[in-house]
Amino acid sequence: MAKKTMNELKRRALLAKQRMKMGYWEQMMKDREKLINEVGSTYEGQKMVSDYQREKYNREFNVTVNRFTSKDEQLYEKVCEILRADEFVINPIARLIDKTEYDNMDNEARQRYVLELAAKFRELKERFYKENMSKSG
């Protein structure tokens, strides 16, 4: 177990070193300054930019470390497709439902599933607009 922990530590150190060599942190600082200039240097603007960059780093770190796309990231890709479409979507939740999973549930579980999915959709939609805010400038 100690060897596995050491290998993980070495791998993470290597990834950190690669980020430094590639100028990851310098680019983060440039992006931060650019975003702060766009949204203003108020406390709220700085906090919004910090939160955005923290979420971005955590997503990138998780994808790099875990080397797989989590269920939330797959769901996020579907949300992006829905929001980028040029059509008006009446019921986006219906597009996100896993039909096989939904068909095997009883009524109460279906209601819970739809409510949880709706909450997740709102969260991912907010993330989409935050990420696209930085790209629009």
What pLDDT shows up at residue 68? 47
| CA-CA-CA-CA dihedral for 120, 125, 126, 128, to nearest 10 | 130
Q: Do 39 and 82 fall into the same domain?
A: no
Print the domain residue range for 60: 1-68
Gyration radius (Cα) of the chain, Å: 19
Q: Do 3 and 58 fall into the same domain?
A: yes
pLDDT band at 131 (very low <50, low <70, confident <90, very high): confident
Domain count, the chain: 2
Q: Do 10 and 61 fall into the same domain?
A: yes
Q: Is the pLDDT of residue 40 over 50?
A: yes
Structural tokens at position 44: 């709220």
Q: Which of 30, 50, 68 is the last residue of a domain?
A: 68
Q: Do 7 and 58 fall into the same domain?
A: yes
The pLDDT tens digits for 79-98 are: 988 888 877 888 889 889 98
pTM, two decimal places = 0.53
Which of 76-80, 112-116, 124-128 has the largest mean confidence?
112-116
What pLDDT shows up at residue 108? 93
